[in-house]
Chain A
Amino acid sequence: MTEFSKNPDRDWIKQRLIGASICILFVFVILFLRLVFLQIIKGEEFRLLSEKNAVRLKSIKSSRGLIFDRKNRLLVDNRPSFNLKIVLEDAGEVEQTLKKVADLTLIPFEELNKNIHQAGKGAFYKSISLKNNISRNQLAIVEAHKFDLPGIHIDIEPTRHYIHEKMAAHLLGYLGQINIKELKSGRYANVKAGDPIGRYGIEKSFQRYLQGKRGGRQIEVDANGRTIKVLKTVDPIAGLDLHLTLDLNLQRLAEKLLINKDGAVVVIDPNNGDVLVMASNPSFNQNDFIGGISTKKWNILMNDSGKPMNNKAIQAEYPPASTYKIITSFAGLEEKHIDKNTTAFCPGFFKYGNRVYRCWNRNGHGEVNLLDSLEQSCDVFYYQTGDKIGVDALAQYASKSGLGKRTGISLENEKRGLIPTSDWKVKRYKESWQGGETLSVAIGQGYNLVTPLQMAVFISAVGNGGTLYKPRIVTMIKNSQGKVIENIEPKITGHLPVSPETLQIVKKGLFNVVHGSKGTARRIRIKDVEIAGKTGTAQVFSIKSGEKIDNEELSYFLRDHAWFVSYAPAEKPTIAVCVIIEHGEHGASAAAPIAGELIEYYIKNLSPKVKLGN
Chain B
Amino acid sequence: MFDRRLIENFDWGLVILIFLISSVGLVILYSALTAGQQLTDGMPVLFKKQLVWMISGFVIMMVTLIIDFRDLDKLNIFIYVICIGLLISVLLFGHLGGGSRRWLILGFARVQPSELMKIALIISLASVYSTSVSQTGLNFRKLIIPTILCIIPFLLIVNQPDLGTGLLLLLIAGTITMFVKVERRVFFAVTFIGLATIPLVWLFALKDYQKFRVLTFLNPDRDPLGAGYHIIQSKIAIGSGMLTGKGFLKGTQNALSFLPEQHTDFIVSVLAEEWGLVGCSILLILYFFLLFWGLNISYTCRNMFGSILAFGVTAMIFWQICINIGMVMGLIPVVGVPLPMVSYGGSSVVTNMVGFGILLNISMRKFSSN
The one of A9, A32, A232, A233 in contact with B281, judged by C-beta atoms closer than 8 angstroms, is: A32
Q: Is A16 an interface residue (CB 8 A)?
A: yes
What are 24 A-B interface contacts by the 8 Å CB criterion? A1-B134, A4-B304, A5-B131, A16-B181, A21-B292, A24-B318, A25-B288, A28-B288, A31-B284, A31-B326, A32-B281, A34-B331, A35-B284, A46-B237, A46-B240, A50-B252, A53-B252, A122-B36, A125-B256, A216-B224, A218-B224, A231-B224, A232-B228, A234-B224
Main secondary structure of the interface of B (DSSP, over half): helix
B135 touches A4 (CB 8 A): yes
Question: Chain A contacts of B277 at CB under 8 A?
Answer: 35-36, 39-40
Chain B, residues 221-246, CB within 8 Å of chain A (1/0): the string is: 10011001100110111111111000
A50 to B240, CA, bound (A): 6
Question: Chain A contacts of B369 at CB under 8 A?
Answer: 6-7
Instruction: Give A14-66 interface residues, CB cut-off 8 Å to B.
Output: 14, 16-17, 20-21, 24-25, 27-28, 30-32, 34-36, 38-40, 42-47, 49-51, 53, 55, 57, 59
A13 CB, nearest partner CB in chain B, Å: 6
Question: Chain B contacts of A122 at CB under 8 A?
Answer: 36, 257
A20 touches B311 (CB 8 A): yes
Known: A8-B302, A50-B239. 20 other contacts (CB 8 A): A1-B134, A1-B136, A4-B134, A6-B303, A12-B135, A16-B179, A17-B295, A17-B299, A31-B329, A32-B281, A39-B242, A40-B277, A44-B242, A47-B242, A49-B236, A53-B253, A59-B225, A218-B224, A218-B229, A232-B221
Q: Is B133 an interface residue (CB 8 A)?
A: yes
Question: Chain B contacts of A17 at CB under 8 A?
Answer: 295, 298-299, 311
Q: Is B130 an interface residue (CB 8 A)?
A: yes
Q: Is B77 an interface residue (CB 8 A)?
A: no
A46 touches B239 (CB 8 A): yes
B240 touches A57 (CB 8 A): no
Chain B positions within 8 Å of A, measured between CB atoms, are 36, 96, 130-131, 133-136, 179-181, 221, 224-225, 228-229, 232-233, 235-243, 252-253, 256-258, 272-273, 276-277, 280-281, 284, 287-288, 291-292, 295, 298-299, 302-305, 307, 311, 318, 322, 325-326, 329, 331, 369-370
Question: Chain A contacts of B298 at CB under 8 A?
Answer: 13, 17
Q: How many residues on chain A are close to B (CB under 8 Å)?
A: 55
Supposing A4-B133, A4-B134, A16-B179 touch, asked if A55 and B242 sit within 8 A by C-beta, the answer is no
A36 to B277, CA, bound (A): 7
B307 touches A13 (CB 8 A): yes
Most B CB within 10 A of own CB, among A9, A47, A216 = A47
The one of B134, B221, B370 in contact with A2, judged by C-beta atoms closer than 8 angstroms, is: B134
Closest to B298 in A: A17
Q: Is A3 an interface residue (CB 8 A)?
A: yes
Question: Chain A contacts of B240 at CB under 8 A?
Answer: 43, 46-47, 49-51
B307 touches A125 (CB 8 A): no
Most A CB within 10 A of own CB, among B243, B258, B273 = B258
Question: Chain A contacts of B133 at CB under 8 A?
Answer: 4, 8
Closest to A8 in B: B304
Question: Chain B contacts of A13 at CB under 8 A?
Answer: 298-299, 307
Question: Chain A contacts of B253 at CB under 8 A?
Answer: 50, 53
A125 to B253, CA, bound (A): 12
A9 CB, nearest partner CB in chain B, Å: 7
A523 to B233, CA, bound (A): 77
Q: Is A124 an interface residue (CB 8 A)?
A: yes
Instruction: Give A209-242 interface residues, CB cut-off 8 Å to B.
Output: 215-216, 218, 231-234
Question: Chain A contacts of B325 at CB under 8 A?
Answer: 31
A46 touches B130 (CB 8 A): no
A55 to B303, CA, bound (A): 55
Closest to B224 in A: A232
Supposing A39-B239, A42-B239 touch, asked if A55 and B134 sit within 8 A by C-beta, the answer is no
A204 to B337, CA, bound (A): 39
A10 to B369, CA, bound (A): 13
